[in-house]
Amino acid sequence: MNKQKLATKIWESANKMRSKIEANEYKDYILGFIFYKYLSTYEVQKLKEQGFTQEDIEALDEEDAEIVKYVREEVGYFIAYKDLFSTWLKMGKDFDVSNVTDALSAFNRLINPSHKKVYEGIFNTLQTGLSKLGESSASRTKAISDLIHLIKDIPMDGRQDYDVVGFIYEYLISMFAANAGKKAGEFYTPYEVSLLMSEIVANHLKDRTEIEIYDPTSGSGSLLINIGRSVAKHIDDERNIKYYAQELKQNTYNLTRMNLVMRGILPANIITRNGDTLEDDWPYFDETSPTETYNPLYVDAVVSNPPYSQHWDPSNKETDPRYARFGIAPKAKADYAFLLHDLYHIKPNGIMTIVLPHGVLFRGGEEGEIRKNLIEQNHIDAIIGLPGNIFFGTSIPTIIMVLKQKRENTDILIVDASKGFIKDGKNNKLRASDIKKIVDTLAVRDDIDKFSRKISREEIRRNEYNLNIPRYVDSSEGEEKWDLYASMFGGIPMSEIDELCEYWSAFPGLQEALFTKGEGPYTELAVSNVEQTVDEHPAIKAFISNFKSAFGDFDSFLKSELITNMATLNISKEEDILNTAIFTRLDSIPLINRYEAFQLLHDEWEKTSVDLEIIQTEGFDAVKKVNPNMVIKKKDGKEEEVQEGWSGHIIPFELVQRTLLVDEYEALKQIEGRLAEISSDYAEILDSLTEEEKDSSVTNESNDAFVAKEVGERLKEIYADVDTQEIKALKAYSTLSKKADKLAFISEHDDVVWSNMEPNKDGTYAKKAVNAYLAELQSSFVFPEDSFEAKVVRVSKLMAEEKEAKAKAKADAAALHIKTKETIESLSDEQALELLEQKWIVPLTESIKQLPNSVIHVLVDKIKALSEKYAVTYSAVESEIQETESTLTALINELNGNEYDMKGLSELMALLKGE
C-alpha cells in the first residue's frame, strides 16, 4: 500500500472512530500516538545500530541508571521496553489505558536535559485528553487500542526515508483542518499556500550555505517544514538549516515540535517556544531572565500565517523596537503588529512572507500610517492577491506580502493571482502551475497584462498609499464588445481580428488566407471550412514541425534522466531539471503556455517521484514486487480489512497486461465490451416497449430493467401459444399410446420432419424426444420484428448470453490477474525498464505533444466565434419579424367570429402594429 492509500485509509477510519469528538481535538490524540510510535521506533533503531540485540532491547528498564543515561545521550530521551509502542501491541487483551498514562509520565521524566526544549511537555495535550476517549477505563482502553492498531502499519523503520510518516502526518493534519471549520486556522496553512511562500523564500536564499528560518505563529509547523524542503533543493547539507518556531496555544505548539522532529531534523536545529509573539519579543532571550538576556536574533527568512485581525494589547509598545520606526497597530486588528515583528527579525539581506487579509492594503488610521512608513522606507517588495475561499474556516480574500530590510529597487510588484485556481470540494486550491507562475513573476519582476505590474512610489503616493490590488492590476475579463455597424449590416470588424495579432504574428499569411481583403474596417470569412484551411496552411505546418524538432530528443533526454540515472538522481531537484528542459525547448515556440506544460510535468512527476523514492530506498527489485490488495468490506455488520487480490508495488497490473499480456487482455476487453453492448441492447428494447407492454410483468416496478424470472415465465407462455401444422401433428402424436397407432400416424403424416428425432428400435418416437423437438420448433418460431413476443425472445437470448459472458469474464479476469502477478515477479531487468518507461515517460511525452494542437484548436474556435457573432444582423432579424407580422396580419384578416371575437382580433392587430 503506497503512502497516499495508507494515509487515506487511516484518515477514513480515524474520522469514523472520533464519533462526537471535534476534529480539532481528536487530531491531537491520533497525531500524538503517531509521534509516540515514531519515538519508540527511532529509539529501537538507534540502539540496534549500536549493536543492541533484541534481548538487550527487552531488558530496557528505568531502574537501570546506566542504560538510561546511555540511551538518553544517544537519542535524547529514554523509553523502557514495557512502554514501547510495539510492546503495547504485543500485550493484546492485557493492554490498559494505564499503560499509556504511565508511559507518557515516564517519558517526560526521562528526557535528556539538553533536549528539554524539544521534548518537554510534548505529550501534555494527549495525556490530559485521554479522558475524553471514553466514560470508563474500559471504554478508554478500547478507544486507545483501536487507535494504536489503526496506525501500527505506518512504516518508521528507517528504510522508508521517503518520509511516509511525515507525509501521513501532514495529510492527517490537512484532513482534520478541512473538518475543523474556523478552528483550522489555528494550526494549518493549506499546503499550496505554504508551498508558494516556501518557493518565494527559497529563490531568495538559493545561494546560501547556512540558513536560519523562523515562524512566529507556527501552528502545526507545516509552513516551516515546507520552507526547509524548498530551501533544501538549493543547499548541499540540510543540517545547515536551523528552525525557529513560536506558538501561543499549547496543543498547537506540541504539533509544531512533533512535526519538526518526525521530519528527521536534528534536535539541535529545532529552537521553539510556547509564548505570545506580540507580548514578548522572541527570539532570543533566556526565559528565566528575559530582560537581562534580551538579544534579538536576526534570521534569513521569517514566514507566518498569523490569526487575521486579532485583538491585542498595544499598551506600552511605543518604545518596543519592533514597532518604534513604523507605528502601533490598532488594538482591534493586530495584522500589522505581526508583520512588524516579522520584519524586525530578518537580516539586512533576508526576506519575509506573511499571509494577511486584504484590508491591510487600504484600511486607514494607524494602519494607514504604518503602511505609509513601510512604503517610504522601501520595505514592501511584492503583494500577491490570492483566490478567495482558499483557507479552511474562512472565505475572506487574502494576500501574501513579501518584505525585505534592504532593497535595490523602489517599486512594488503587485500580482493579482486571484483567478488562478481549481475547485477542490468547498475550497479553492492553487495549482502547481499557478504557484510556478507567481514565483517566476516575482523572480524577474515582470509586468504581465491582467496579472502583474510594478508600481512606482510616485503612483502610490498619488493614491494616498492605498495598495488595493484592483487600483493597479485589472484582472477582470471585461464585457464582450459588439460593433454597432457589424451588428446592423454584417461583416467582421478588423479591430476584433487585430485582437488576435499574436496568432497572425506567429502564423504569417494565415490571416490573409482566412479573410477577404477589404478596403474598409470590415471583412468577411473567405473560406467555408476553417479547420481545414488552418490545418493545411504552411505556417501552421511549420509551427508543428518546429515544435516536433524542439522536442525531438525529449524522449531520450527523459530516459537518460529518469531511467539511466534512477538510482542516483536527486529527487528533490529533478523536477526543476525536467522543467528547465521543457522551458528551454519552448523558448523558440510561440503561443504555447509554458505553465500549462509545467502542470503536465508536475501531474506526472507527483506519481513518478514516489516510484523513484521507493526504488532508491528498496532497490531496483522493488519494480518486480506485488502487494496484497487490501480493501474494507462489511461482514456481519462490521467493517473489516480483507485481501482482494494483488497490486503492483510500482508497476500497475493494467500496464503489464497492455504491454506484456496483450492477447489475454484484449480477449477480456472484448468480452467486457460485449457485456456493455448487451446493457445498451436492454436499454434500447426497454425504450421500445409501449406502456401496455411494460405492464406485462417482464420489468421491475420502476420499468428500468428486465426481471429474469418474469421474462422466463412470459417466454413459456409465448412459446405455448405458437401453433404450426407440424406442432399440431406432434401434439396429436404425443396423445397416442399404442404402437400400431403410432406407426400408422407416422406413415400418414409427412407434415412432420420425423428425421429430426431419434427413433426407438420399433420405429416409434419416445415422448421425451417428441417434447424436445416441440420445444425446438416453438423456440425457433420467428415472430414479427417489432412484436412484443420478438422483444421478449431477444431479451431471453441476451440474458443467456450475458450470463455466459459474465462467467467467462470472471474466470478470465481471475486467470489474467494471477498471470499478471507471476509476470511482474518474473520480470527481466529489460522488461522492468521498459515498463517504467511506459509508466513515467510515455504519458508525459504524449500529453506534451498535444500542446500545439491545443493552440490551433483555440484559434479555430476564436475565428468561428467571430464569424458567428455577426452572421445574423439586426437588420435581417428585423426584416424577418416584419415578414412574420405581415403574414400573421393577413391570416387574422381572414378570420370571422362574433362581436367579442372581432374586438379581440382588433386589439391584437393594434398591438402588432405598435399602436
878 vs 795, more confident: 795
Percent of the chain with pLDDT over 90: 64
Can you tell me the distance from the alpha carbon of 914 to that of 912, in angstroms, rounded to the nearest whole number? 5
Alpha carbons 216 and 279: distance in angstroms, whole number: 12
Residue 678 clears pLDDT 80, i.e. is over it? yes
CA–CA distance, 910 with 915 (Å, rounded to integer): 5
Nearest to 405 by CA among 371, 383, 375, 378: 378
Whether the per-residue pLDDT at 886 is higher than 80: the answer is: no
* Cross-strand partners of 416: 385
* Top mean-pLDDT range of 222-231, 290-299, 767-776: 767-776
Pairing relationship of beta strands 638-648 and 626-635 according to DSSP bridges: antiparallel
pLDDT at 16: 73
Residue 161 confidence (pLDDT): 41
Q: Specify the pLDDT at position 352.
A: 97
pLDDT of residue 187: 52
Of 386, 420, 378, 380, give the one whose Cα is nearest residue 401: 380
What is the per-residue pLDDT for 164? 66
The answer to whether residue 68 scores a pLDDT higher than 90 is yes
Under the banding of pLDDT at 50, 70 and 90, the label for residue 912 is: low
In the predicted structure, residue 162 carries a pLDDT above the cut 70: no
Whole-number Å distance between alpha carbons of 826 and 820: 10
Length of the chain measured in residues: 915
Task: Return mean pLDDT, the chain.
Answer: 89
* pLDDT, tens only, 493-548: 999 999 999 999 999 999 999 999 877 899 999 999 999 999 999 999 999 999 99
Average pLDDT over residues 446-461: 96
Which tens digit of pLDDT belongs to each residue from 642-655? 889 999 999 999 99
Average pLDDT over residues 286-314: 86
166 band by pLDDT with thresholds 50, 70 and 90: low
What pLDDT does 180 receive?
59
pLDDT of 190 strictly over 90: no
DSSP state of 309: T
| pLDDT at residue 482, rounded to an integer | 81
Helix or strand (DSSP H, E) at 586 = helix 571-586
| pLDDT at site 223 | 86
Give me the pLDDT at residue 875, please.
62
Q: Does the pLDDT value for residue 630 go beyond 70?
A: yes
Residue 641 clears pLDDT 80, i.e. is over it:
no
| CA-to-CA dists, residue 881 to 208, 869, 874, 905, 910, angstroms | 75, 20, 10, 19, 16
Can you give the pLDDT at residue 478? 66
Peptide bond into 283 cis (omega under 30): yes
The band of 392, judged by pLDDT with boundaries at 50, 70 and 90, is low
Predicted confidence (pLDDT) at residue 724 exceeds the cutoff of 90? no
For the segment 363-380, the average pLDDT, to the nearest whole number, is 97
Q: Which of 232-246, 267-281, 539-553, 728-742 reaches the highest mean pLDDT?
A: 539-553
Is 122's pLDDT higher than 60?
yes
Mean pLDDT across 424-440: 91
Predicted confidence band of residue 184 (pLDDT cuts 50, 70, 90): very low
CB 251 within 8 A of CB 223: no
pLDDT of residue 915: 57
- pLDDT over 80 at 311, yes or no: yes
Contact 307, 217 (CB under 8 A): yes
pLDDT single digits (tens) 74-112: 999 999 999 999 999 999 999 999 999 999 999 999 999
The Cβ of residue 884 has, within 10 Å, a number of other Cβ atoms equal to 11
Cβ count near 811 (within 10 Å): 10
Q: Residue 860 to residues 408, 431, 486, 529, 544: CA-CA distances in angstroms?
A: 46, 27, 21, 10, 15
Q: State the SS3 of 155-198.
A: CCCCCCCCCHHHHHHHHHHHHHHHCCHHHHHHCCCCHHHHHHHH
The pLDDT score that the predictor gives to residue 899 is: 74
Separation in Å, CA 417 to CA 426, 433, 442: 19, 12, 12
pLDDT computed for residue 291 by the predictor: 72
Residue 878: the pLDDT is: 64
What distance, in Å, lies between the first and last C-alpha atoms of the chain? 79
Q: Residue 160 — very low, low, confident or very high, per pLDDT cuts 50/70/90? A: very low
Does residue 182 register a pLDDT over 70? no
Q: Where are the alpha helices (DSSP H) in 233-301?
A: 250-262, 290-293
pLDDT of residue 874: 61
**Structure confidence at residue 225 (pLDDT):** 87
Residue 471 has pLDDT above 90, yes or no: yes
624 φ, ψ (degrees, to nearest 5): -100, 20
Confidence label for 840 from pLDDT (cuts 50, 70 and 90)? very high
**pLDDT: is 573 or 881 the higher one?**
573
What percent of the chain has a predicted confidence (pLDDT) above 70? 94
